[in-house]
């Protein structure tokens, strides 16, 4: 059935195509960004934070590949967003303890959820570890690929899916993006 939209994360028309919804009726926007390979793109994080705010989603920033990153640069990026009032988790998507931190942060946002339709949507550029996290959070084997040196990511996930998480709840696994165009906004 088609239900009324409480929240909507969408892309505006741009070089990557027409305006289109990314996820509807999600409550938590999990912005996944790599600290290394591909290099972090804070401006993309910023665009997702704005798009999430416009669409009514609560943000959570997850910085991955910390084991491959310069520790000082990683701390500076995390601290920048923490000082702005955002929750930021830093770690490696293949580390079980980090995955449990992400699960707990998602779970904290879902404790009030009475229905499965209240769930997090994970977004970010290609190659940052979104599908690796999805696989470990859900037990569902989503395809993962190597990071392309030429384009900085590889579009392995092309079909967004709502996947039940182990232990309850669900997560929206979205395709990676190269860019995110925002709709016209007032000040």
SS3 readout for 132-179: HHHHHHHCCCCCCCCCCCCCCCCCCCCCCEEEECCCCCEEEECCCECC
pTM (2 d.p.)? 0.81
pLDDT tens-place string over residues 62-82: 999 999 999 999 999 999 999
* pLDDT tens, the chain, 187 aa long: 777 888 888 877 666 556 678 888 888 899 999 999 899 999 999 999 998 999 999 999 999 999 999 999 999 999 999 999 999 999 998 899 999 999 888 876 555 444 434 578 888 888 888 878 888 888 787 555 444 444 444 444 456 677 777 777 777 777 666 667 676 777 7
Let me know how long the chain is.
187
């Amino acid at each position: 059935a088609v239900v009324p939209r409480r929240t909507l994360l969408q892309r505006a028309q741009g070089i990557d195509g027409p305006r289109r919804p990314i996820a509807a009726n999600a409550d938590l926007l999990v912005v996944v960004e790599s600290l290394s390979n591909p290099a972090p793109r804070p401006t993309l994080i910023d665009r997702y934070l704005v798009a999430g705010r416009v669409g009514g989603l609560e943000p959570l920033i997850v910085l991955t590949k910390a084991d491959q990153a310069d520790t000082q640069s990683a701390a500076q990026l995390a601290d920048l967003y923490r000082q702005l009032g955002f929750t930021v988790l830093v770690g490696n998507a293949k580390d079980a303890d980090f995955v449990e931190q992400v699960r707990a942060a998602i779970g904290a946002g879902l404790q009030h959820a009475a229905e499965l339709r209240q769930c997090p949507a994970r977004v970010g550029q290609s190659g940052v570890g979104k599908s690796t996290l999805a696989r470990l959070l859900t037990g569902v084997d989503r395809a993962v690929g190597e990071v392309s040196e030429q384009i900085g990511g590889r579009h392995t996930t092309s079909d967004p899916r709502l996947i039940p998480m182990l232990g309850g709840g669900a997560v929206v696994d979205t395709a990676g993006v190269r860019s995110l165009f925002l709709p016209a906004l007032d000040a």
